[in-house]
Amino acid sequence: MRQGETFGIIGESGSGKTTVGRAIVCLIRPTAGSIRHYGEDPFALSAKVLRRHRRSYQIIFQDPNAALDPRMTILQSVREPLDVAGIGTRRERQRKALEALDHVAMGAEMAARYPHEISGGQKQRANIARALVLEPQLIVCDEVVAALDVSIQAEMLNLFADLQRDFNLTYVFISHDLRVVAHISDRVAVMYFGKIVELGPATALMNAPLHPYTKALLSAEPEPVPAHLRNRERIVLQGEVPSPLDPPTGCRFHTRCPLAQPLCSQSEPAWRELAPGRFVACHFAETPN
């Protein structure tokens, strides 16, 4: 991820998006490969240094209800990361928590309420404030608008854009909603069955996908026009998603791919750059026009 950008990750349920997000913020340790924060492996740090290091890498979870302690007020929940880190005096922590709530348009009245007394959108704003309070460099947003009404989703996406501008934040935006990812992201990675199969600028990827799986995802996106006016062919994938306990050989998508050839089951496709900034893992992907 580049500093200051919004990096989108899309894919169907079970593709590994949340696992990647949790690994980025050091909630889980990779079983293979490695994580690099500015070239440094955070898991090579001592436990004490890692705790301090992790303050710069925060995550906002999908379910705003489960992310908040029902026994704590909103202010207490937002202040909790500062309490755990032992930053400043109690008065200073209280002030920083209130400032964070103000940044997400939640005033002192909301701060005194409990989670059951506010709406789902307000709960997610509180979770955003809690991620902001430690002044992170990067925030992983894991399906943060999936549980919200469409009108609230638009407000939330605008809030993320404003916060990014004000605090020079870097986002990793995880979602299965292509419209949301395309709206907010600079670059998008497409995941299938634990692998990134395509990566590129959001606009280019949405307009001219290179991988068959990306094409299928885009074709499944509903269009707000009558069927007889649609100019896009619907791609219906056949078969079931393979079991993670027994992944397919070669390309992991070959069991459902409409373009699969014998080579696809025999050899894993190389990660290729077919155009500047456009990467794909497919034997038969062609250079975009």
Exposure string for 176-207, b = 16+ CB within 10 A, e = fewer? bebebbbbbbbbbbbbbbebbbbbbbbebbbe
Q: 62, 286, 281, 289: which is closest to 190 by C-alpha?
A: 281
- Rounded Cα distance between 30 and 42, Å, is 11
Domain layout of the chain by residue ranges: 6-185, 199-280
- Rounded Cα distance between 131 and 58, Å, is 6
pLDDT tens digits for the chain (289 residues)? Answer: 999 999 999 998 888 999 999 999 999 999 988 999 999 999 999 999 999 999 999 999 988 888 999 999 999 999 999 999 999 899 999 999 999 999 999 988 899 999 999 998 899 999 999 999 999 999 999 999 887 888 888 889 999 999 999 999 999 999 988 888 888 999 999 999 999 999 999 999 998 999 999 998 888 766 654 554 455 566 767 777 788 888 899 999 999 998 889 999 999 999 999 999 999 999 999 888 7
pLDDT for 221 equals 67
Phi, psi dihedral angles at 139 (to 5 degrees): -130, 125
pLDDT for 224 equals 55
pLDDT for 180 equals 85
pLDDT for 226 equals 53
pLDDT for 107 equals 83
pTM for the predicted model, two decimal places: 0.90
Q: HSE on the CB side for 237, CA within 13 Å?
A: 20
Q: HSE on the CB side for 169, CA within 13 Å?
A: 29
Tokens of 207: 């307009």
**Helical segments of the chain, H only:** 17-24, 47-53, 74-85, 90-103, 108-111, 120-132, 150-167, 178-184, 202-207, 212-220, 262-266
Domain 6-185 of CATH type 3.30.70.600? no
- Helix (H/G/I), strand (E/B), else coil: 215: helix
